[in-house]
């Protein structure tokens, strides 16, 4: 079974689009948890009407993607019988066979579950859109267990770069593969103006944006030769 973890904040229509695509999946053995950021109770209320079976966790303050995925691992994944973990952004939509193709690729490459599959992405209407294979992935349980009691996402970061560092660690152990057949449509606000919203501003350009912090943190961690997973060293406050 796959646990799908979706951080979200004030994006109920986008979340609804993603949930509809999940309901259409040919691969049915999955469960989803929405991690609602910054005590966004309007989204919590709306979720009760959108999907009766989706689990919901509420973050009392802004914890962004890293706080959301780490919490989903500890409070849901670790306590369940899940074989895979898939972290998705709330502004994406899956093709009907996306999960099926990803699981198939994972089994082909990592029968014991010790690996990471990079999922394909496009941006509708923007053929020049580029993406990173580590942006959204399918991880096996045995790979996640490599982190032991530590967080999956490096807590030195707030939102960015934790996925890249995870991918580097997995790659250094020969534990990555890509799946072009597992396609995600990413309605990225940086490319689609109609998708620009308050959440995008908070994450990337607003005064509370974690972007500058994470850029500096990435440079500092690389300078110290830290790699989360290989070691669990933290820079801490910059």
Residue 233 lies in a domain: no
Mean pLDDT over each residue of the chain, to the nearest integer: 95
pLDDT in tens, 152-207: 999 999 999 999 999 999 999 999 999 999 999 999 999 999 999 999 888 888 77
Residue 176 lies in a domain: yes
Query: Residue 125 sits in a domain of what CATH number?
Result: 3.90.550.10
Residue 68 lies in a domain: yes
What pLDDT score does 48 carry? Answer: 80
Residue count (the chain):
238
What pLDDT score does 211 carry? Answer: 94
Q: What is the pTM of this model?
A: 0.95
Order of strands, edge to edge, in the sheet holding 92-94? 55-58, 30-36, 2-8, 84-87, 137-140, 116-122, 176-186, 92-94
Residue matched to tokens 């998705």: 88
**What is the three-class DSSP state of 8?**
strand
**What is the three-class DSSP state of 183?**
strand
Pair 159, 65: CB distance under 8 Å: yes
Residue 232 lies in a domain: no
**Residue 62 in tokens:** 């802004």
**Residue 104 in tokens:** 């198939």
Residue 14 lies in a domain: yes
* Between residues 209 and 121, the one the model is more confident about: 121
Pair 44, 56: CB distance under 8 Å: yes
Quickly state the pLDDT bin for 135 (edges 50, 70, 90): very high
Domain count of the fold of the chain: 1
- Domain range for 123 is 2-223
Residue matched to tokens 């690729």: 105
Q: What is the largest CA-CA distance in the chain?
A: 48
Residue 80 lies in a domain: yes
Is pLDDT of 208 > 80? no
Residue 238 lies in a domain: no
What pLDDT score does 94 carry? Answer: 98
In the DSSP assignment, the letter for residue 127 is: T
Sequence-distant (6+) residues with CB within 8 A of 94 are: 18, 21, 22, 24, 25, 88, 183, 184, 185
pLDDT in tens, 40-66: 999 999 888 765 578 999 999 999 999
Is pLDDT of 136 > 80? yes
Torsion of CA 124, 157, 83, 8, to 10 degrees: -50
* CA dist 51 → 15, 32, 222 (Å): 11, 10, 42
What pLDDT score does 104 carry? Answer: 98
Pair 40, 6: CB distance under 8 Å: no
Residue 39 lies in a domain: yes
């Amino acid at each position: 079974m796959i646990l799908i973890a979706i951080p979200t904040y004030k994006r109920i229509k986008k979340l609804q689009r993603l949930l509809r695509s999940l309901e259409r999946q040919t691969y049915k053995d999955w469960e989803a948890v929405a991690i609602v950021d910054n005590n966004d109770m309007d989204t919590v209320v709306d979720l009760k009407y959108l999907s009766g079976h989706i689990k919901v966790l509420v973050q009392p303050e802004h914890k962004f993607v890293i706080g959301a995925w780490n919490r989903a691992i500890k409070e849901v994944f670790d306590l369940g019988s899940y074989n895979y973990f898939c972290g998705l952004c709330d502004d994406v939509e899956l093709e009907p066979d996306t999960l099926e193709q990803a699981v198939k690729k994972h089994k082909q490459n990592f029968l014991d579950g010790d690996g990471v599959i990079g999922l394909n992405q496009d941006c509708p209407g923007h053929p020049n859109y580029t993406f990173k294979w580590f942006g959204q992935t399918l991880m096996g349980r045995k790979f996640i267990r490599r982190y032991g009691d530590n967080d999956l996402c490096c807590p030195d970061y707030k939102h960015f770069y934790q996925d890249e560092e995870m991918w580097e660690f997995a790659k250094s152990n020969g534990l990555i593969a890509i799946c072009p057949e597992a396609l995600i449509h990413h309605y990225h606000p940086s490319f689609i103006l109609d998708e620009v919203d308050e959440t995008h501003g908070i994450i990337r350009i607003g005064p509370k944006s974690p972007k500058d912090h994470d850029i500096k943190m990435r440079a500092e961690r690389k300078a110290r030769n830290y790699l989360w997973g290989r070691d669990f060293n933290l820079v801490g406050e910059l």
